[in-house]
Chains A and B, each alone.
Chain A
Amino acid sequence: MLLRSIYFWVSAMIFIMLVGLTVWKVIPPVLGQYRESTLTLKDLEVQITEKEKFVRALKTLEEERTDLEALHRQAQLALPTAVDSENLLLQLDGLIASLNLAEIKTTVPFSEEASRQAAAPEEKPAEPTESKPLAKFTISGPIDFEKLRDLVVQLKGFGRWNQLTSIDVIQSGGNITATITGEAFFKPAFSQEFSGDSQIINKAKAIFAKYRSYTTAPDISKEGSFGRANPLAPY
């Protein structure tokens, strides 16, 4: 009886067409948009959380700007971007003076090669590379065994990161002469991406507390007396 009803067949056909049309044409794009929106929202939320954390860390750094500046200067002295022989020499002079080793001589290289290496990082600052210990230094002169040990200990915590390569001690007729050679590190490039670590100041303080700097970077705006009527006259 039902199967012979035209009303049944017409309504069934309309129903199937409407359902088919909805399932085929309407639902998939709407579902696709839904999935895409959900993923985009999640992604944005993660990005915002990370960026908020980053901005909070920057605010902390802003509040501790003085410490940050000081640590930045220490980091530059500890592992400069160039050979920086002049500051190495001043640091070594400071170290020798602090140990009252007046007769000890220090030498550092001021070669063209060193200058060339120093200029190179300006061209490619974005590629971090391993440090190249090119600034070889020598400390030599009369010294007793106790002072030698003191000197070696001080070099371990020296404000310019270094590595000793040899120690040569000669004792003759009661006179002891030592020659210490080492390499001061430098690292031309550095990553310009800050991780957003809010503890960076405390971590840096803990690390740099182990090292002692024996000089500050020379600054012509704050030190030195310039200008002489006769620069050839004795000073």
Chain B
Amino acid sequence: MINLLPSEIKGQYRTKSVLYSLTLIYVIILVGLALGSAALATFNLTSRANISNKTETLAGLNEQAEKKQELILKAAFIEDRLKAESSQKSSPHWDAILASIASDTPANVQLTSININQDGSAFTLTLGGETNERRAIVLFKDKLEADQSFEKARINNITDSSTAEFKKYGFTITTEVKNAS
């Protein structure tokens, strides 16, 4: 089909058409912005109601907990003591030390004194005893040295109380107790 309209009128129609389209785009954008703002505002209103409900729920739960304050204090006390329990034990295993002393003592040695003492953070064991041969004293010291419970074993002194009939040697040995806590 041939358009016989003059070019000026054609131009006016085109301009109007563009203007209508542009206006339509403006309106769509403005409506979009308005709807977006309205949606956000509605969400905020709903959220405020939700916050109010949840705050009430939380207050109710707090009230329930408050009523059981006596239980809370007792449970807190027990919990505190459970936490403290592990930090209380820092000394060596005394029963294991006594067992080691017994198992390390040579058959021909009689102990006359056992002293385990705390020296700062370390524990020192001093053993006094009697035997009929000096070799047993050295063996005892070596046995203590080899024991995993002790370290740095040393003979402090050996005294000779032998008579013509009996050999009798007194001694003291000192060793450090390894920290086996």
Which A residues are closer than 8 A to B by beta carbons? 1-2, 5, 7-8, 11-12, 15, 18-19, 22-23, 26-27, 30-31, 33-34, 37-38, 40-41, 44-45, 47-48, 51-52, 54-55, 58, 61-62, 65, 68-69, 71-72, 75-76, 78-79, 128, 130-131, 145, 148-149, 152-153, 155-156, 161, 163-172, 185, 187, 190-195, 197, 200, 203-204, 207
Contacts and interface: CB of A to CB of B under 8 A. Distances in A.
A131 B33 contact: no
Given A145-B98, A156-B94, 18 more contacts: A5-B15, A8-B19, A15-B30, A37-B44, A41-B50, A52-B61, A58-B71, A61-B71, A62-B71, A71-B78, A75-B78, A75-B81, A76-B77, A131-B87, A166-B116, A166-B118, A192-B72, A204-B82
B91 A62 contact: no
Given A2-B18, A51-B61, A51-B65, A128 B91 contact: no
A19 B72 contact: no
Contacts of A51: 58, 61-62, 65
A212 to B, nearest CB: 15
Given A30-B41, A48-B54, A161-B85, A68 B78 contact: yes
A172 B129 CA distance: 11
B110 interface: yes
A62 B68 contact: yes
Contacts of B18: 2
A170 B113 contact: yes
Interface string B6-33: 0000011011001100110010011001
Contacts of A30: 37, 40-41, 44
Interface of B: 11-12, 14-15, 18-19, 22-23, 26, 29-30, 33-34, 36-37, 40-41, 43-44, 47-48, 50-51, 54-55, 57-58, 61-62, 64-65, 68, 71-82, 84-85, 87-91, 93-95, 98-99, 102, 110-118
Contact of A161 (B12, B36, B72, B88): B88
Contacts of B115: 166-169
B86 to A, nearest CB: 9
B71 to A, nearest CB: 5
B78 A44 contact: no
A149 B79 contact: no
A209 to B, nearest CB: 12
Given A61-B71, A131-B84, A1 B11 contact: yes
Most chain B CB neighbours (cut-off 10 Å) among A145, A171, A185: A171
Nearest to B71: A61
A65 B78 CA distance: 13
A205 to B, nearest CB: 10
A191 B76 contact: yes
Nearest to A130: B87
Contact of B75 (A11, A153, A194, A207): A194
Contacts of A44: 51, 54-55, 58
A61 B114 CA distance: 49
A78 B68 contact: no
